[in-house]
Amino acid sequence: MKSDSRSGWGRNLRASVTYLPLNPKNASTFGEANSGLAVGLGRSYGDSSLNSEGITWTTNELNHIQIFPELSFAICGSGVTIGQLERAAMKYGLFPPVVPGTEYVTVGGAIASNVHGKSHHTDGSFGDHVIEITIINSRAEEIVLSPEGNNSKEFWATVGGLGLTGAIVKAKIALKPIETNFMEVYETRVRDFNGLLEKLKEFDSKYSHTVAWVDLSGSYVGRGIVSGANFASRNELDRKLDPFQEKLPRHFSLPRKLPFSLINNLTVRLFNTVWYWKPKKRGLTHFQPFLHPLDSIQNWNSIYGKAGFLQYQFVVPYGEEKILHDFLELMKLHRVTSFLTVLKRLNEQKPRFLSFPIAGWTLSIDFPASHAGFIDALNDFDERLASAGGRVYLTKDSRVKRDRFEEMYLNVSQWKEVKSIMDPGNYWKSEQGNRLGLC
């Protein structure tokens, strides 16, 4: 048993936690603590992977992968990372249909957050491709959940359930065939935000993977770069290239602890100007830098210094684009700059309890946690967002108020009913769960 101070990826909140590895042997000791939470790599940004009340069960040891190429699925432990799953599947010409922006997320974390990626408009969320989930409940019993059938409610309460319904130990995941590891990428610059919205919509009809980077500095007109990509066929590849070439993220690393922030109006404006005018990508590139661009810099979260940062990611329904424009104005008013601002389109999805995606535009920004005035302004913006049918992404959140959360996630009461059945002793807890009244 090990105790340590832990933070989310945003490094803006900390908690004193006690660790134990999650395995069948240790599961029998669940009842010795008043609460528990299973955690992978801790890449959630705020407090959803923090539990100071009991035991943090780490899934590092649950790292087995088995690929079934003839049936196009994988069975893997919850501690397997997205990158490990990708590389194991690629050996058979297969790939996960949905991957997040970093490969350093565990399968258990991807399910608990029901992550989405650049392919949501074509493939939905990660949970849409999960065939089975095996969890351990607080009584150390293994239970297999499936998306249809007698325990479908328990399945969908676990997908996006932030680890509060039980400890995910194993999953069966559907894979899709690919001919190569390379992607045909096309980028274009756009001068203003309305143009960015239209171009991204156009790209969604042409490409399986799309994303827009937004320059929210200087004049805040919302200029940016729209990128689209499809997996390349063998015919598009040079014969000298290995169609399933393995590529690991480069190991450029920043110090884990910087005493000061590198983020200010000058550095962000300089970066955004360079990034906007950089040569456009048009042609073949390995999937890794396109799907996981930030993985080339380890510990990039340290650039915000000791205080850390917050990510504010929200989705607003189609037809409510004015809210996006008003958000740009809010940033301009508070002189908030962000070098990592991402815009994507999400597809229609059935209500999934605590899952984030709905049909609409999702915008995410990173900003220093020291910007107290903007954080206060976000409380008011949350109210307007909820009134328009929008919501914040809980995996990225560390500040939304309970009443606003309940206005955004209208199925929360039904989710609580399912949790009470799955976890009658309310064993599975997190700091975020306590803050939002989920446990």
Residue type, 90: M
Match 């605590």 to its residue by tokens.
Answer: 354
For residue 317, how many C-alpha atoms fall within 13 Å in the half-sphere facing its CB? 11
| The overall pTM is greater than 0.85 | yes
In the chain, what are the helix, strand and coil shares in percent, each to the nearest 5?
30, 25, 40
Q: Which residues lie across from 297 on neighbouring strands?
A: 252
Q: Find all residues with CB under 8 Å of 105, minimum gap 6, and list them.
A: 40, 41, 43, 81, 82, 113, 115
Beta strands in 175-272 (DSSP E): 176-177, 182-190, 209-214, 224-231, 252-253
Q: Say what the alpha-carbon torsion angle 216, 219, 221, 225 is, to the nearest 10 degrees.
A: -50
The tokens for 377 are 């302004």
Residue-level pLDDT, tens digit, the chain, 439 residues: 777 888 999 999 988 989 899 987 787 778 777 899 999 999 999 999 999 989 999 999 999 999 999 999 999 999 999 999 999 999 999 999 999 999 999 999 999 999 999 999 999 999 999 999 999 999 999 999 999 989 999 999 999 999 999 999 999 999 999 999 999 999 999 999 999 999 999 999 999 999 999 998 878 999 999 999 999 999 988 777 788 887 776 666 667 777 778 888 888 889 999 999 999 999 999 999 999 988 888 888 898 988 899 999 999 999 999 999 999 999 999 999 888 899 999 997 776 899 999 999 999 999 999 999 999 999 999 999 999 999 999 999 999 999 999 999 999 999 999 999 999 999 999 999 999 999 9
Q: Find all residues with CB under 8 Å of 261, minimum gap 6, and list them.
A: 303, 304, 305, 307, 368, 370
Using N-to-C axis directions, what is the helix angle for 321-333 and 193-204, rounded to 10°?
Answer: 140
| Domains of the chain by start residue, with CATH | 182-407 (3.40.462)
- pLDDT, residue 438, reads 97
